[in-house]
Amino acid sequence: MDKNVPSSLLQNLVFEKFMYNKQDYYEDQLKKLGLLNDDAFTCTCYMDAVGNKPNKGDVLSWSESSAVVYANSVLGARCNRNSGILDIMGSIVGFVPYFGLLTDEGRKADWIVEVKTSKKPEAQLLGSAIGMKVMEDVPYVKGLDKWLGNNLNDDACTYLKDFGAATASNGAVGLYHIDGLTPEAVEQGEQLIADGAKVYVIDDDELQRVYDNYPVMWKNIDAKPKLCFMGCPHMSLQQLKDWTDKVESSLKQYGNKKVVIPTVFTAAPGVLKEFETTSYSARLNATGVITSYICPLMYMNNPLSGKMPVITSSNKLRTYTTARYFTDDEILVQITKGGK
């Protein structure tokens, strides 16, 4: 665990003596199998700063759900949602079973999702709604072009990273198509839609319904947050820069110099190293925000961490832990102004 991330003596005892006491052994085994490097421990291995970005059409043996759905959807690679053992075996032998999302038929859309919101929908909220609706099926999403455009630039890719993570964790989506944007949707258009595809319309009311129905897992729902995690999946370089601007501006607005809730932004080690070469790094550090390479989910899996009132704008972290979900805008207010 990263010593910079707030944790108690008892939490550290559980981490070091019980949960991750064999971590060094496992990492050594991965290195023997050909792990890229010590900076390759991340759920966003496809980031340029990490260096494991597949090409369109590449067949993969991955298991991390947010990485699988990104590779399939945004990069046009082919990969099933493998188990943690199958992915290692596939990597060793160089072959994986040919079925599901590796086939042309398996990549056709079973759902048409029509986004009709009045403003750009929160990526992790929209992904959550779609994931819970379509489950493991393939959605073909229309209506995002007015906000994402038709170019897979950094902003669009970052949005789809978080969107896909929510579809994969709140449901079991391994592939989605965005009309006019993702590679296969650009090439094949609505030919990707299977006969008899169902339709799901998402408007402002539907997103609000989804948001309002998230359970709050805190023992005291009125508790003051003790920790905020951002970066599940790991943040991109652009997100770190954008959030630096946001945090600075919001602190100034509310008359504070540092965040009022311990806040951790997580990103891949390679991304953090690149971020540290920019002027943004010192600026973010001055706000009191901590940057770290850890996995927030693995932190929250500690039973003592699970008892803490933790907030996040990650629907993946909300789904798998007791962390409480708020939108990006709500998180920004909480960490810079305070309040429940």
pLDDT at residue 339 in the model: 63
Beta-bridge partners for 317:
none
Q: What is the pLDDT of residues 15-43, one digit of tens each?
A: 999 999 999 999 999 889 888 888 889 99
Q: What is the chain's pLDDT, residue by residue, as a tens digit (340 residues)?
A: 899 999 999 999 999 999 999 999 999 998 898 888 888 899 999 999 999 999 999 999 999 999 999 999 999 999 999 998 999 999 999 999 999 999 999 999 999 999 999 999 999 999 999 999 999 999 999 999 999 999 999 999 999 999 999 999 999 999 999 999 999 999 999 999 999 999 999 999 999 999 999 999 999 999 999 999 999 999 999 999 999 999 999 999 999 999 999 999 999 999 999 999 999 999 999 999 999 999 999 999 999 999 999 999 999 999 999 999 999 999 999 999 986 5
Q: H-helix or E-strand containing 255?
A: none
User: At residue 143, what are phi and psi to the nearest 5 degrees?
Assistant: 100, 0
Q: What is the pLDDT of residues 98-124, one digit of tens each?
A: 999 999 999 999 999 999 999 999 999
Question: What structural domains and CATH numbers belong to the chain?
Answer: 27-102 (no CATH), 105-212 (no CATH), 217-336 (3.30.499.10)
Measured CA to CA in angstroms, residue 158 lies from 56, 153, 180, 198, 240 at distances of 18, 9, 17, 28, 11
Q: Which two tokens stand for residue 63?
A: 């298991």
Q: Which two tokens stand for residue 87?
A: 């992915």
Predicted TM-score (pTM) of this structure: 0.96
* Kind of pairing between the strands at 227-235 and 177-178: unpaired
